[in-house]
Amino acid sequence: MKYALVTGGSRGIGRAICLKLAKMGFSVLVNYQSNKVAAEETKNLIEANGGTAELLLFDVADGAAVEKVLSEWQAAHADDYIAVLVNNAGIRKDNLMFWMSDSEWSNVLDTSLNGSFYTTRTLVKYMMNKKFGRVINIVSISGINGMAGQTNYAAAKAGVIGMTKALALETAKKKVTINAVAPGFIETDMTKDLNQDELKKIVPAQRFGKAEEVADLVGFLASENASYITGQVITISGGL
């Protein structure tokens, strides 16, 4: 079996990625933290389309929990390993910096940056031993260009970008690629509070993207066809 883990896979971009990878033949591990109903919906959608899926409950920001759950999974699947990891879990707590609380800062970094570190550290050793692996980090154009009101989110995603580039140098010889996908404005629950009509005006494509479009890019990076692409940050932003 070819396994793929998608953190924050219950909704939005994460769900679209789960469905895409399942169509590609991966058995998908759908990680979630609290919304079991949404995670089960993702699992049911995969199975309705002939795929296989399993739910994995853990908080990516809890390093001990990540290590425990993934190590237990590996022990129960001694002949298999997770060949594709998509670090998608992330949260927004937007605020201007001079009003930003310690928790608004630390919670965002704990989920996006530390969470990506914990999951990748746990799984990349198996990929390197097998001499094949894909780590795809979902970042944001906010981590490249910055965005007012998102110093925490931008810092977290910029940190993941740096981690992506450095880790790619460590794993390339073992045929493990590490890349990042940086979406712009995508229609999801995370962006539903944004003024889409106004923001469309600054996007050259004049629209928000779809989660499925992000998933198609992730699917390519997870494939054999992307074996010579590593350490890259690919934007999908309608030209923004």
* pLDDT tens per residue across span 127-180: 999 999 999 999 999 999 998 999 999 999 999 999 999 999 999 999 999 999
Residue-by-residue DSSP string for 126-144: HHHHHT-EEEEEE--THHH
Distance CA 137, CA 192 (A): 22
Residue 62 pLDDT: 97
pTM of the model: 0.94
Q: Which sequence positions are flagged as catalytic?
A: 153
Distance CA 101, CA 207 (A): 33
Portion of the chain with pLDDT greater than 70, in percent: 98
Which of 113, 104, 106 minimizes the C-alpha distance to 7? 113
More confident residue, 200 or 20: 20
Segment 21-35, tens digit of pLDDT: 999 999 999 999 999
Portion of the chain with pLDDT greater than 90, in percent: 84
Domains of the chain: total: 1
* Residue span of the structural domain in which 187 resides: 3-236
Cβ neighbour number for residue 60 with a 10 Å cutoff? 24
Q: Are strands 176-183 and 53-57 parallel, antiparallel or unpaired?
A: unpaired
- Domain CATH code at residue 232: 3.40.50.720
Residue 190 pLDDT: 67
Do residues 31 and 66 lie in contact, with contact meaning Cβ atoms separated by under 8 Å? no
Do residues 92 and 150 lie in contact, with contact meaning Cβ atoms separated by under 8 Å? yes
Segment 166-223, tens digit of pLDDT: 999 999 999 999 999 999 988 877 666 767 778 878 888 988 889 999 999 999 999 9
Residue 185 pLDDT: 87
Lowest mean pLDDT among 47-51, 100-104, 205-209, 225-229: 205-209
